[in-house]
C-alpha cells in the first residue's frame, strides 16, 4: 500500500489530521485549475473548498482505476462547472448555427505571455466562454462531451469557444499595444 492509499484510508475513517495532510499535499496542485474557471481568487478558493468537501465525502468511491490526482482534478472541474452553472445561464449564449458574422481567429498565440498574464485575461472572459475554453483548449474535452456536461448544444459549445478565442485575441492585442507604447515612451531610449 503506497503513501496515498494509506492517507486515503485514514481520510475515509474521518482522521482530521490525514484530511489536513491530503489537503496540504494537493491544494497547490489543484488551485491553478480552480483559478482558470474562476473570475477571482475568492471564487477559486470557494471552488477548491467545495471540491475538497466533495473529495472527502466521496473518497470511499475512489476505485483506483485512474490516478488519484486525475480523479481529484475531475472533481475540481465538476465543482467549478456547478459553481459557474447559474452564472452561465444568466448570460446569453450563441449557437454557432445562428451566427454568420463571427470571424474566427485561427491563430491565437500566447507563448510570449506569462501564465499569470494569461490567467488574468481568461478571468475577464464571460463565465460561459471561459468554462468552455478551459474544457476544450486546456482539459481536452470535445465539443460533444462539453455539450453533454453543460447541457447545451454542440453548436453552442463551438460558438462559445470561438467567442472566447476572439475575445482573448482582442485582449492579447490590446496588451501588446500597451507594452509597445510603454517601450517606445521609455525615456532611456
User: What pLDDT is recorded for position 119?
Assistant: 86
Q: Which of 25, 60, 87 is the last residue of a domain?
A: 87
Judge if 51 and 34 occupy the same domain: yes
pTM comes to: 0.71
How many domains does the structure of the chain reveal? Answer: 2
189 within domain boundaries: no
List, for residues 17-37, the tens digit of each pLDDT value.
999 999 999 999 999 999 999
CATH of residue 162's domain is 1.10.10.10
Structural domain boundaries enclosing 158: 96-184
Residues of the chain short of pLDDT 70, as ranges, are 1, 3, 86-112, 178-189
76 within domain boundaries: yes
List, for residues 149-164, the tens digit of each pLDDT value.
998 999 999 999 999 9
CATH of residue 30's domain is 1.10.1740.10
**Three cell numbers, residue 86:** 447559474
Amino acid at each position: 500500500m503506497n503513501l496515498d492509499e494509506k492517507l486515503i484510508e485514514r481520510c475515509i475513517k474521518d482522521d482530521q489530521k490525514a484530511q489536513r495532510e491530503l489537503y496540504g499535499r494537493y491544494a497547490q496542485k489543484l488551485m491553478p485549475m480552480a483559478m482558470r474557471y474562476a473570475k477571482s481568487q475568492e471564487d477559486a478558493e470557494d471552488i477548491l473548498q467545495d471540491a475538497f468537501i466533495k473529495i472527502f465525502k466521496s473518497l470511499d468511491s475512489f476505485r483506483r482505476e485512474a490516478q488519484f490526482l486525475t480523479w481529484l482534478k475531475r472533481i475540481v472541474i465538476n465543482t467549478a462547472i456547478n459553481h459557474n452553472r447559474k452564472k452561465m445561464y444568466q448570460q446569453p449564449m450563441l449557437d454557432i448555427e445562428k451566427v454568420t458574422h463571427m470571424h474566427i481567429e485561427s491563430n491565437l498565440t500566447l507563448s510570449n505571455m506569462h501564465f499569470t498574464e494569461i490567467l488574468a485575461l481568461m478571468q475577464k472572459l464571460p463565465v460561459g466562454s471561459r468554462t468552455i475554453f478551459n474544457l476544450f483548449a486546456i482539459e481536452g474535452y470535445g465539443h460533444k462531451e462539453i455539450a453533454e456536461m453543460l447541457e447545451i448544444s454542440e453548436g453552442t459549445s463551438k460558438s462559445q469557444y470561438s467567442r472566447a478565442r476572439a475575445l482573448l485575441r482582442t485582449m492579447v492585442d490590446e496588451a501588446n499595444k500597451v507594452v509597445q507604447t510603454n517601450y517606445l515612451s521609455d525615456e532611456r531610449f
